[in-house]
Amino acid sequence: MTLREPRPSDLPDILAINAAALANYAQAQFTHPFRHLHPAAFECAMTHGPREKLAAAPDGTSFNIVLEDPETHSVVAWGFWRRNHGPAFTSKIDGYRALAARGPHVQDASDLAIITPSGGPIASAPNTNINININIDSGNSNGGVGEQAKPRELEMPAEVSPSASPARVRLSKICAANDALAHFAHPHWYLSHLLVHPAHKRKGYGTTLTLWGMQRARADGLPCLLTASIEGEKLYSRLGWRVIGRRTLPRLEDMPEAERAMEERLLGKAVVEEQFTALPPSVMAWGDRVEDYAVLEADGPDRGPQLTN
C-alpha cells in the first residue's frame, strides 16, 4: 500500500468509504432520527464532514492521509489528524466555554456559531461521530481536496436536513462543548476520522494511519486524543491508548416538550427513549506518559509510516 496525501480525484473513493461506514456512526444516527424517512438527505448530510476536512488548507494543523492500493490505484483507507495548538485552538476553547455556559436550552442555531466545527472534539471520530453545521466553500482555491462546484443541498448545514432533529443537534453540540472542556482543552493531536473500506479491514491499515499521527505527535511533544467506538477501542488499546473518560450524551428530559412529543408520534415513545440510553463513546489518550512511547520503539526509534509523494 502507498501512504500519501489525498488528491482531488480521491474524493469519490473517500465518500464511498464514508458511506459504507454510516451504520457505525452512532452520533450521526442519534442526531438524524428521521433518516429512514429521508435516506437520501441523510447520506447527503453525512458527506459534509469528509468534504470539509478534505478541503482544509495545508496550514500545519490539518493533516489528511490516505492509503492507495497500488494495483487498482483506489483509496482503501483515509485518516484525518488535527494538531490542536496555538491561538486558533485557544479561541475555539473559549467558544466552547461560552456555549457551555448557556446550558441545555439554546434554541437557535445562530447561538451555536461560536463553535468552529473543523478539527475539534465535535469532529467525528472513527466510526462514531460526524461533524455538524459545516459550511463548504465551492472550488479548490485553498489547496485542499475540493470540487469546482457542488449541488446547493451539499452546502446546507446538517441540522436543516429533513433527516435531522434540530433539538438533538443543539443538545449534542452543548454536550460536545462540555466534553471539550473536560477532556480536550489542552494542546494535543486529535484523530478525527479513521475509515477503512469494508473489503480491506483487518489488514493493518487503520494501525498504519494511527501510527502516522502518533509518530508526529511524539516529535511535537504533544499527547494524542480521540473518541472511540467499542470496536475502535480494541485497535487503539493494542497501540497503547487507554480510556480516560466517556463523552456525554443528551438527556431526554432536556428535549423541548413539543419536539419530544413530535418525535414520539413519528418514531414511537419506546424508540425515542431507547435512543437516549445509548452507551457513550469513550475518550482515549496516548503520549502523555513516557511508557506510551514503547509501541513506537518496538522496531527501532524510526518506526512509523512515511508519506510517499
CA angle, residues 56, 116, 159, in degrees to nearest 5: 100
Type and span of the H or E element at 94: helix 87-102
What pLDDT score was predicted for residue 93? 92
- Better-predicted residue by pLDDT, 68 or 43: 68
Contact 191, 125 (CB under 8 A): yes
Query: In the structure, what pLDDT confidence band is assigned to residue 308 with cuts at 50, 70 and 90?
Result: low
Judge whether residue 151 has pLDDT over 70: no
Instruction: Report the SS3 class of residue 54.
Output: helix
Q: Which structural domain range is residue 109 located in? A: 2-297
Q: How far apart (Å, rounded) are the C-alpha atoms in residues 220 and 16?
A: 33
Residue 305 lies in a domain: no
Structural domains in the chain (count)? 1
Residue 24 lies in a domain: yes
Judge whether residue 189 has pLDDT over 50: yes
Judge whether residue 271 has pLDDT over 80: yes
Question: Averaged over 81-98, what is the pLDDT?
Answer: 93
Residue 32 lies in a domain: yes
Provide long-range contacts, Cβ within 8 A and 24+ apart, for 150-158: 150/51, 153/41, 153/44, 154/44, 154/47, 154/48, 154/51, 156/45, 157/48, 157/109, 157/132, 157/133, 158/31, 158/32, 158/45, 158/46, 158/48, 158/130, 158/131, 158/132, 158/133, 158/134
Residue 302 lies in a domain: no
Interior/surface letters 49-66, b for 16+ CB within 10 angstroms, e for the rest: bbbbbbbbeeeebbbbbb
Residue 303 lies in a domain: no
Question: Averaged over 119-147, what is the pLDDT?
Answer: 33
DSSP string, 195-217: EE-GGGTTSSHHHHHHHHHHHHH
Question: Averaged over 145-158, what is the pLDDT?
Answer: 40
Type and span of the H or E element at 282: strand 282-286
Question: In terms of residues, how long is the chain?
Answer: 309
What pLDDT score was predicted for residue 166? 93
Question: Averaged over 122-147, what is the pLDDT?
Answer: 32
Adjacent-strand bridge partners of 228: 282
What pLDDT score was predicted for residue 1? 85
Residue 307 lies in a domain: no
Judge whether residue 22 has pLDDT over 90: no
Neighbouring residues of 297: CB distance < 8 A, sequence distance ≥ 6: 303
Question: Averaged over 41-56, what is the pLDDT?
Answer: 87
Q: How far apart (Å, rounded) are the C-alpha atoms in residues 284 and 152?
A: 37
**pLDDT tens, residue by residue, 166-183:** 999 999 999 999 999 999
Judge whether residue 108 has pLDDT over 70: no
Instruction: Report the SS3 class of residue 306.
Output: coil
Q: Which of 136, 135, 147, 172 is nearest to 32 (CA)?
A: 172
**pLDDT tens, residue by residue, 215-238:** 999 999 999 999 998 778 988 999
Kindly report the CATH number assigned to the domain that includes residue 29. Answer: 3.40.630.30
